[in-house]
Structure 1
Amino acid sequence: MVLWSNSELPFLAKIAVLGLYLGAFYFALWHQDWKLLLASLVGFVVISILGIYEDIFMLIFGFTFADLLGRAKSKWHIASGMLGIAVMFLIVIRMTKDSLFPIESQVLAPMMIIQLVFPVLIYYVEKSKNLQSELADVNTQLVQQEERQRIARDLHDTIGHTLTMIKVKTELTTKLIDRDPTSVKQELNDILATTRTALKQVRELVSDMNFVSLHTELLHCQQLLQSANITTTINNQCPKIVLSSVEETMLALCVREATTNMLKHSKAKNCHITIQCQNGQYRLTIKDDGIGIQQKGLGNGINSMKERMYALQGDAMFDGNTPTGTRVLFSIPIQDGKEPPT
């Protein structure tokens, strides 16, 4: 349309102006620094020429560079570009005021205001997108960190537990070599079976096989403690309570961790595990007659148990400040409709 118009611009000048406009637009499209500002100012000059010699409504093409200016990294570049927009409109209006129709004068002012606001609007939209992208990156990092913590916790609670059992069995086998050589073969077979269990646990962790049966884990821990000469009794007063998969798994892993700590540190001879339902709470208590919790502060295992109970809106309490043994209590709320009749 510009090439075949009846304006005062020569044909070659029209080609040059259009080429300069396209070049400025392409240059501004790929930059966000001072080069963007320079290209935009060149574009405003070209649009001013077209507005004066072709049609005043050529000023509408200023939206092209106003949009690109909003993507500039520097606020000073945006402000300078907005000044260029205002100057472009003022020059064109001044040069064409004698030929303007009333309706054109009424349209130009809103057009200029919108073009001045447009870079600011685009700037904050882009800033919002960048913040959302950064927030997504942070969330991804948090998820990855949480996943690493979960893997570390599961490794500590499963593989650490099984390796402790292998250690206990190995120590027992070492003592039996001189006293009871005939029992060594059976203990070595147990160590081999436990090693296979460890390999299975690794595969389960890799496969994200999370469910652990509380009943099975209690029996396994009882067997493990008794193999370490710790007499263990289990008293389940709530056999009719049905826990969810998550609740059962969390409690089972806490029992596993507590058993591992008992084997490592307690020097106990007896252990009592009791399950009760009181005041809407499912309470699992592990009590031993060992030396108590001698270490100051909370280790990784205790923190892990607290985190698991907290995730179920429950609690984990540890009473072991005296040399009369350690009492560990895990409690979680019983879901509506699951509490047994009194």
Structure 2
Amino acid sequence: MGLRIYPKEQMKHYLIIDAISVVFLIFIVLEAESVLVLPVRLVLLAIFLFSYYIALWHRDVRLLLAVLGGIAILTVFGVYINPPVLLFGFIFADLLGRAESHWHRGIGIAAIGGMFLTVFFMQSKVGFSWAHTFLLPVMILQMVYPLLIYIRSKNLHLKDELLVANHQLEQQYIEEQERHRIARDLHDTLGQTLTMIKLKSELSAKWIDHDKEQAKKELLDILSSSRIALKQVRELVSDMKFIPLDKEIEQVRTILIQAGMEATVEVVEEPPLLSSVEETMLSLSLREAATNVIKHSKATRCQIRLTMETDAFTIRIADNGIGLGHVAIGNGMQSMKERMQALLGTAAMEDGETGGTVVTLRLPLRHHERGGIK
């Protein structure tokens, strides 16, 4: 585990600003003329930086103590070096807005006000200057700033919770659609077979006393139908299992090559982190698209292309076959569309610009924008 110097979640927005602020503060404190001797200034700066570092990593009472320590150091600098140094109080006002306790936040805000009032009082003994007037709005801003940071953080937290809730609703919707699809598949596949078994059983019961050979034939048909039903159940259960997209792509490529085609896979951008349902749905749709290419396209070449758009992940299956022509959309394409619609995505089939057929599977990525939701 590496040494953590700066919080990762703040690095993007605050690291450069904090580094510049600290460098300027050190420069001002060391270059200004003051009754404070250099060793004292160095010790105070060290305490200031230590307080800042503690406040950077904590949100509990240690944050409050660190803020109070930093404010005390700034008060000394404001009195004995230069009142505008109080501008650097924004460093702690920002961190104070992330405190877990409202009490800690209130005490810190009161301390910021006390810092300014102390400096104003001490400086009034040596004469009123423009700096006092300039620092009054700064004092108000620093006292309000923690509240603004807290409100902003609260809103971001609520937004994240809303995204998580929306993602859960989407997953529930997907699962519900998949249940409907499974029910439909069971009805379409097993329904006919079981109906046949029922009819054959009734015929067997009628023939058993009159024509044993015919009854035996009917029973053999029932046995055959039962085996078909068992096979259909196994296929449906197999479809319900998790199918990794990367393995399915490789398997589809192998099948296309075995069918005598030149099959290539182009990954323009790696897919995002997908849920098990999303990967399975995409894999089944890709499998169906490849099956259609083998059965109907008469193609010699097929390309699978994976790309990332600004708001969607896309799989494009293009062949150089005979194209759509007047061929009606079959059950395979309808199945792909239903699966992608369950993911709030789309499945489209069209003629290619240079011939052949292009199938495009498009999965929207609204809930993949934040990494916490997967």
TM-score if structure 1 supplies the norm length?
0.57
Answer yes or no: is 1:11 the counterpart of 2:38: yes
Equivalent residue, structure 1, for 2:53: 26
Q: Distance in 1 between matches of 2:200 and 2:49?
A: 86
How has the CA–CA distance of structure 1 residues 52 and 245 changed in structure 2, closer, same or farther, with 3 Å as cutoff? farther
Supply the AA of the counterpart residue of 1:150: Q
Contact 2:97 2:105 in 1 (8 A): yes
The question of 1:67 aligning with 2:94 is answered: yes
Partner residue of 1:153? Answer: 180
Structure 2 match to 1:37:
64
Residue 88 of structure 2 aligns to a residue in which SS?
helix
User: Aligned letter for 2:91?
Assistant: T
Instruction: Please tell me the residue identity of whatever aligns with 1:184.
Output: L
- In the alignment, the residues of structure 2 paired with residue 176 and residue 16 of structure 1 have an alpha-carbon distance, to the nearest angstrom, of 101
The code of the aligned residue for 2:60 comes to D
Q: Equivalents in 1 of 2:99, 2:190: separation in Å?
A: 59
* Equivalence for 1:57: 84
CA-to-partner distance for each residue in 1:251-288, whole Å, 9 max, x for gaps? xx9xxxxxxxxxxxxxxxxxxxxxxxxxxxxxxxxxxx
2:224 paired with 1:185:
no
The reply on whether 1:143 has 2:153 as its aligned counterpart is no
Offset of 1:184 from its aligned partner? 3.3
Cross-structure match for 2:139: 112
Amino acid at match of 2:63: L
Matched pairs, number: 222
Structure 1 residues 196-215: aligned runs within 5 Å: 196-201=231-236, 206-207=280-281
Q: In the TM superposition, what is the alpha-carbon distance from 1:105 to its structure 2 partner?
A: 2.1
Per-residue CA deviations over 1:4-63 (Å, capped at 9, x if unaligned) read 433111222111100110111111111112221111111110000011111111101110
Amino acid aligned to 1:189? S
Q: In terms of Rg, which structure is larger?
A: 1
Alignment-derived partner of residue 337 in structure 1 = none
Instruction: Render the CA deviation track for 1:179-231: whole Å, top value 9, x for unaligned.
Output: 22223334443444454445555566654668x9xxxxxxxxxxxxxxxxxxx
Gaps of 5+ in 2: 1-26, 208-214, 241-279, 289-327, 343-374
Task: Measure, in 1, the Cα distance between the counterparts of 2:281 and 2:160.
Answer: 31
3-state SS of 1:3 partner:
helix
CA distance in 1, matches of 2:124, 2:330: 79
User: Any conservation in 1 of the 2:201–2:222 contact (CA below 8 Å)?
Assistant: no
What is the distance in 2 between the residues matched to 1:51 and 1:168? Answer: 91
Using structure 2 for the length normalisation, give the TM-score: 0.52
Rounded to whole Å, the distance in 2 between the matches of 1:244 and 1:65 is 65
Query: What do residues 49-79 of structure 1 show as CA deviations (whole Å, max 9, x unaligned)?
Result: 0111111111011100100111112222111
Please give the alpha-carbon distance, in whole angstroms, between the structure 1 residues aligned to 2:329 and 2:61.
Answer: 61
Q: Shift of the alpha carbon at 1:123?
A: 0.6
Pairing 1:47–2:78 present? no
> What is the CA deviation profile of residues 147-180 of structure 1, one whole-angstrom value per residue up to 9, with x for unaligned ones?
2212222222222553344433334444455622
Contact 1:176 1:184 in 2 (8 A): no
Over the matched positions of the two proteins, sequence identity in percent amounts to 31
- Name the amino acid aligned to 2:224: N
CA deviation after TM superposition for structure 1 residue 134, in Å: 0.8
Question: Residue 68 and residue 13 in structure 1: after superposition, are their counterparts in 2 closer, same or farther (change >3 A)?
Answer: same
Change (3 A) 1:115 1:245: farther
| RMSD of Structure 2 on Structure 1 (CA) | 3.3
Amino acid at match of 1:16: V
For 2:281 and 2:52, locate their aligned partners in 1 and report how far apart those are by CA, in whole Å. Answer: 53
